[in-house]
């Protein structure tokens, strides 16, 4: 990125790929031919010869046939210049030169290629003393892990290392006599019966008596001060339990009668353990020096004003292993490989997680993104052509067009294009490979592949656009491109990007009418709803992890699967809520114009077994079908979350009390927010 970031703020107008293209291009013919006879070496050679002389003319022709917003400069570009233009300036989400310091949601940038999950790079500038520390976060797609690992010099020999660790533990007397277990059991039982008003059962009363006697006996037997302190701790806790058993005890369960948490009595100590660490790899390999260590996470602090800080070194432990990669010049990458972290035992959202840090101070965002290249990952932000490709794919999914014959045919044609172009390029440049060393050959092949991907993209977009246009009943791709709802660029929402679907934009009045007085709701529990507006987002569990808020640090992926997905937030089709705390959107198209939602008219339990047909049975992505949902347990899932303060703001924030309403209004006032969805906050926030 380094050099490309200089053009980050320039505005480019680039012609859409291949509008009004009538006849099948030679390139497409090559791809079709290749797809039709993939095992024929002769046909590959023929294809190369046919296509090689036409790429430049074909691409120029495609660009030149665009009507309307054509950049005159773009028309004069050769294919190589066009490729260069894509690399340098035609960026959907340029990397900002400055990041907002302390912004917990971070700044999202869409990356090119398919190496990163959701194409998403999140750049966070933490407050750090008088300056800032910038961190890049991304999740590497599992399919891209192999090439990332090729860049690393991971020592394959394990050497024993003596490590001093602090351990927490209970005293032997406690463990041998199961003191904490027994008192926890009686405390739970007493609370269980106090809550429902039922009498405390005899077996619980008996356990209290036995425990009392045991504590007394141990008090006479144990002499060590630490044992006596432990026994005193449990005796005090037992006294609290016994107080609840007195006939005249009158404090109700919900007014302080609940027996408080009985903490285990634990002490700390230092132990020396032998751990086996990977030995440093051969420094002469030219690869990146890499250490293996227990997994960690950046440990930021979230201030009451919603800003986030990190001192650059504080990290919390996590379950799993990670690679610490020295990128040079004070830059480091931390990567948690899929291959060495089992989903069942590794902490949720950790597998594939990548972070890159650099030296303290602002202005490093572009270099952080650039450093992805050292890891063999695409380090260019998304181009407009890639954006339209993504946009079309998202719309195919959202509008359930994937099985339409014209879309299926387009997808098949597009699939063969990259290989076809690569063969063409190889035929043209194979002579350059003569005499190359093995590393040089690898680099040469990698370069050819990247060039092929870029050159094939414009044609792939054209092909898919034509297929989608036919599927939705339009004359051709140009008509689709010119239609009012077609917006092949994403919109930023809080710390992520969302793609629109062009059908909802057209159907807005129809969808609004179908919902009548109903809308989308979300009930908030567990604390002050004002906290939600402090962060400004209704965020998925996954996004909350990134922001450094919420619990669950340590939860495994397999455990999360039972929840039905931690990368979405759940809304319901329902009428206006009468009680809070709840959020309500009376104009559902405000959210349904996104291309990432899906829904079920009733709770769905198939997520544990995603390979099963059962996992998507009954899934709805049609807003008119959604409007007909009748079950209270219906669910509408939105990826990442919802931006509560911007264009996705709710039309009603229903609070439980005047105080809660005032708390929300105070937070909004602190943030300088006076309107939500174009209406004064006092109108939107109600109780």
Partner 1 sequence: MLSAALTIRITELVTGGDPGLSTGAELAVRSASGELAFRAPLARHWREEVGERCIWVRPIAGGYEPTERRPGDPPYLFSLNAARRRGLTWTTASVKGETVVLELAGGEVATIGPAGEDLRPELERWDSFVLQLLPSELEQELEQLEDDSWQGQHA
How far is residue 26's CA from residue 62's CA, in Å, rounded to a whole number? 12
**Residues between 151 and 170 that touch partner 1 (CB under 8 A):** 168
Among 155, 280, 373, 552, binds partner 1 (CB under 8 A): 552
Helix (H, G, I), strand (E, B) or coil at 261: coil
How far is residue 685's CA from residue 664's CA, in Å, rounded to a whole number? 8
How far is residue 477's CA from residue 474's CA, in Å, rounded to a whole number? 8
Helix axes 438-471, 405-429, angle to 10 degrees: 150
Q: Based on the shown chain and the rule CB under 8 A, indicate whether residue 556 belongs to the binding site for partner 1.
A: yes
Please, which residue, 128 or 189, has the CB nearer to partner 1?
189
**Residues between 465 and 494 that touch partner 1 (CB under 8 A):** none
389 and 464 Cβ atoms separated by less than 8 Å: yes
- Joined tokens for residue 198: 């039922």
The answer, yes or no, to whether the previous bond of 581 is cis (omega within 30 of 0) is yes
How far is residue 624's CA from residue 605's CA, in Å, rounded to a whole number? 24
**Residues between 668 and 687 that touch partner 1 (CB under 8 A):** none
> How would you write 270-319 as a 3-class SS string?
EEEEEEEEECCCCHHHCCEEEEEEEEEEECCEECCCCEEECCCCCEEEEE
Size of the site for partner 1 (CB under 8 A): 78
How far is residue 127's CA from residue 361's CA, in Å, rounded to a whole number? 10
Among 3, 316, 429, 686, binds partner 1 (CB under 8 A): 316
**Residues between 499 and 528 that touch partner 1 (CB under 8 A):** 521-528
Helix (H, G, I), strand (E, B) or coil at 201: coil
Among 189, 308, 349, 589, binds partner 1 (CB under 8 A): 189
Please, which residue, 481 or 570, has the CB nearer to partner 1?
570
**Residues between 347 and 376 that touch partner 1 (CB under 8 A):** 347
Please, which residue, 67 or 612, has the CB nearer to partner 1?
612
Q: Based on the shown chain and the rule CB under 8 A, indicate whether residue 554 belongs to the binding site for partner 1.
A: yes
Which string of DSSP letters, residue by residue, matches 126-178? Answer: EEETTEEEEEEEEEE-GGGHHHHHTTEEE--SEEEEEEEEEEEEE-HHHHHHT
Q: CA angle at residue 647 from 641 to 650, to 5 degrees?
A: 70
Q: DSSP character for 632?
A: T
Q: Based on the shown chain and the rule CB under 8 A, indicate whether residue 242 belongs to the binding site for partner 1.
A: no
Q: Based on the shown chain and the rule CB under 8 A, indicate whether residue 231 belongs to the binding site for partner 1.
A: no
Please, which residue, 57 or 616, has the CB nearer to partner 1?
616
**Residues between 246 and 285 that touch partner 1 (CB under 8 A):** 253-254, 258-268
475 and 469 Cβ atoms separated by less than 8 Å: yes
Determine the interface stretch with partner 1 among 5-13, 81-89, 462-470, 546-554 (rule: CB under 8 A). Answer: 546-554
Among 617, 628, 659, 679, binds partner 1 (CB under 8 A): 617
Determine the interface stretch with partner 1 among 103-111, 328-336, 416-424, 569-577 (rule: CB under 8 A). Answer: 569-577
Q: Based on the shown chain and the rule CB under 8 A, indicate whether residue 434 belongs to the binding site for partner 1.
A: no
Q: Based on the shown chain and the rule CB under 8 A, indicate whether residue 602 belongs to the binding site for partner 1.
A: yes
Taking alpha carbons only, the member of 279, 308, 304 closest to residue 292 is 279
Q: Based on the shown chain and the rule CB under 8 A, indicate whether residue 564 belongs to the binding site for partner 1.
A: yes
How far is residue 17's CA from residue 383's CA, in Å, rounded to a whole number? 12
Question: What are the φ and ψ backbone dihedral angles of 639, each rounded to 5 degrees?
Answer: -65, 145
Among 2, 328, 447, 618, binds partner 1 (CB under 8 A): 618
Please, which residue, 193 or 449, has the CB nearer to partner 1?
193
Please, which residue, 105 or 521, has the CB nearer to partner 1?
521
- Joined tokens for residue 471: 């599927």
Q: Based on the shown chain and the rule CB under 8 A, indicate whether residue 40 belongs to the binding site for partner 1.
A: no
Q: Based on the shown chain and the rule CB under 8 A, indicate whether residue 92 belongs to the binding site for partner 1.
A: no
Among 285, 429, 632, 674, binds partner 1 (CB under 8 A): 632
**Residues between 49 and 88 that touch partner 1 (CB under 8 A):** none
Please, which residue, 37 or 558, has the CB nearer to partner 1?
558
Q: Least distance (Å) from partner 1 to the CB of residue 263?
A: 4
Please, which residue, 431 or 611, has the CB nearer to partner 1?
611
How far is residue 393's CA from residue 407's CA, in Å, rounded to a whole number? 10
Q: Based on the shown chain and the rule CB under 8 A, indicate whether residue 529 belongs to the binding site for partner 1.
A: yes
- Joined tokens for residue 286: 């030219």
Determine the interface stretch with partner 1 among 69-77, 105-113, 122-130, 192-200 (rule: CB under 8 A). Answer: 192-200
Q: Based on the shown chain and the rule CB under 8 A, indicate whether residue 604 belongs to the binding site for partner 1.
A: yes
Q: Please name the residue that has the structure tokens 């132990």.
A: 271
Q: Least distance (Å) from partner 1 to the CB of residue 618?
A: 5
Q: Based on the shown chain and the rule CB under 8 A, indicate whether residue 551 belongs to the binding site for partner 1.
A: yes
Q: Least distance (Å) from partner 1 to the CB of residue 336?
A: 14
How far is residue 550's CA from residue 529's CA, in Å, rounded to a whole number? 14
């Amino acid at each position: 990125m380094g050099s490309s970031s200089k053009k980050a703020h320039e505005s480019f107008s680039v012609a859409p790929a291949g509008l009004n293209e009538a006849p099948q291009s030679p390139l497409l013919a090559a791809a079709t031919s290749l797809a039709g006879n993939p095992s024929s070496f002769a046909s590959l050679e023929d294809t190369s010869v046919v296509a090689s002389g036409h790429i430049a003319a074909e691409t120029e022709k495609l660009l030149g046939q665009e009507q309307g917003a054509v950049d005159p400069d773009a028309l004069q570009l050769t294919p190589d210049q066009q490729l260069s233009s894509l690399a340098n300036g035609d960026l959907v989400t340029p990397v900002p030169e400055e990041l907002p310091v302390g912004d917990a949601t971070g700044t999202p940038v869409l990356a090119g290629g398919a190496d990163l999950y959701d194409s998403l790079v999140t750049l966070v500038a933490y407050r750090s003393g008088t300056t800032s520390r910038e961190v890049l976060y991304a999740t590497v797609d599992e399919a891209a892990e192999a090439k990332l690992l090729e860049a690393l010099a991971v020592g394959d020999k394990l050497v024993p290392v003596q490590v001093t660790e602090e351990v927490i533990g209970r005293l032997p007397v406690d463990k041998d006599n199961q003191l904490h277990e027994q008192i926890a059991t009686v405390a739970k039982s007493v609370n269980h019966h106090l809550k429902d008003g039922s009498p405390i059962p005899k077996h619980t009363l008996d356990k209290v008596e036995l425990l009392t006697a045991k504590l007394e006996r141990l008090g006479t037997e144990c002499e060590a001060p630490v044992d006596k302190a432990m026994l005193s701790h449990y005796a005090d806790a037992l006294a609290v339990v016994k107080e609840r058993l007195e006939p005249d005890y009158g404090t109700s369960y919900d007014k302080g009668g609940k027996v408080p948490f009985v903490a285990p009595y634990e002490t700390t100590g230092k132990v020396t353990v032998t751990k086996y660490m990977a030995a440093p790899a051969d420094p002469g390999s030219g690869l990146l020096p890499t250490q293996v260590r227990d997994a960690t996470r950046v440990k930021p602090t979230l201030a009451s004003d919603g800003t986030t800080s990190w001192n650059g070194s504080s990290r919390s432990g996590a379950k799993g292993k990670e690679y610490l990669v020295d990128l040079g010049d004070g830059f480091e990458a931390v990567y948690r490989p899929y291959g060495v972290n089992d989903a069942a035992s590794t902490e949720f959202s950790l597998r594939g997680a990548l972070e890159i840090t650099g030296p303290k101070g602002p202005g490093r965002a572009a270099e952080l993104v650039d450093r992805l290249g050292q890891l063999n990952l695409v380090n260019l932000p998304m181009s407009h052509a890639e954006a339209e490709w993504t946009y079309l794919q998202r719309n195919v999914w959202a509008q359930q067009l994937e099985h339409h014959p014209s879309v299926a045919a387009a997808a098949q044609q597009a699939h063969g294009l990259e290989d076809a172009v690569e063969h063409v390029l190889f035929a043209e440049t194979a002579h350059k490979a003569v005499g190359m060393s093995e590393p040089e050959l690898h680099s040469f092949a990698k370069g050819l592949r990247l060039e092929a991907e870029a050159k094939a993209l414009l044609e792939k977009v054209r092909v898919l656009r034509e297929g989608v246009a036919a599927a939705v009943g339009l004359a051709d791709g140009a008509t689709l491109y010119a239609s009012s709802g077609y917006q092949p660029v994403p919109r930023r929402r809080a710390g992520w990007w969302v793609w629109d679907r062009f059908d909802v934009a057209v159907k807005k009045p129809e969808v609004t009418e179908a919902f009548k007085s109903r809308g989308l709701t979300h009930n908030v529990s567990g604390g002050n709803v004002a906290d939600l507006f402090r962060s400004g987002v209704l965020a998925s569990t996954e996004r909350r992890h990134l922001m450094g808020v919420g619990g669950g640090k340590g939860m495994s992926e397999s455990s999360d699967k039972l929840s039905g997905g931690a990368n979405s937030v759940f809304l319901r089709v329902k009428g206006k809520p009468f009680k809070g705390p709840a959020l309500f959107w009376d104009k559902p198209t405000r959210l349904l114009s996104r291309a990432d939602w899906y829904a079920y008219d009733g709770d769905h339990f198939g997520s544990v077994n995603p390979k099963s047909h059962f996992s998507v049975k009954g899934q709805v992505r049609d807003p008119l079908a959604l409007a007909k949902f009748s079950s209270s347990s219906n669910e509408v899932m939105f990826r990442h979350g919802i931006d509560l303060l911007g264009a996705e703001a709710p039309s009603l924030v229903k609070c439980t009390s005047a105080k809660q309403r005032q708390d929300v209004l105070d937070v909004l006032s602190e943030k300088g927010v006076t309107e939500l969805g174009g209406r004064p906050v006092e109108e939107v926030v109600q109780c």
